[in-house]
Amino acid sequence: MNKKGISTWVIVAVVVIIVIVAGIAVYVLYGGGGGEPTPTPTPNPVEGATSMRFDVNATVDGALEVDRFTVKNLGTSDILLRVDATDKDGLNFLYLMHQSGQEAWAYCEGAGGDVSSDWAVYWDSDLIGNAAVDKYMTALEDWSGTGNYEGDTFIIYNITVDPAVDDSVFEPPA
């Protein structure tokens, strides 16, 4: 075989390769598998949770309050709620609420007791009641399932979905 015959075959092979690559590129660019991929939706980790535990750094009137929420029986009419809070002055508070019996207890530095007569005040509180839990759970609808969630005036962290929580956690201190 002569050199002229080999170079012709090389040129033909290169042209064929270019045509094939160009054809694939056109196919991909014009809808044959190209375009934006459809993302696989990631299920929200808190959707359907029956219990939650999370900490919140909330800025209230310019001051930091640190709260730990423990909630059990989410999605029922028998929610059990515990909030361990530390206010801007370093005072420690404990709030316990039982939805089904509309019972509530409040303690500051260990002193306090039954405040069920003010049930709605505690339960509907945007800081420590079920209204706060609803607010934070709504915020967590956008949570990726890892790390912290940061809102305008709060950071939610140490988030645990469906922890095993004993009912005794929601009982008032003796």
pLDDT, tens only, 79-112: 999 999 999 999 999 999 999 999 999 999 999 9
pTM: 0.74
Tokens standing for residue 108:
């500051």
For residue 160, the one-letter residue type is: T
Token digits for 161? 């979905």
Other beta carbons within 10 angstroms of residue 65's beta carbon come to: 18
Angle at CA of residue 77, ends 44 and 100, nearest 5°: 140
pLDDT digits (tens), the chain, 174 positions: 555 566 676 676 666 667 666 666 656 556 555 556 666 656 677 888 999 999 999 988 889 999 999 999 999 999 999 999 999 999 999 999 999 999 999 999 999 999 999 999 999 998 899 999 999 998 898 888 888 888 778 999 999 999 999 999 999 998
Q: Which two tokens stand for residue 77?
A: 């009419």
- Which residues share a beta bridge with 103? 98
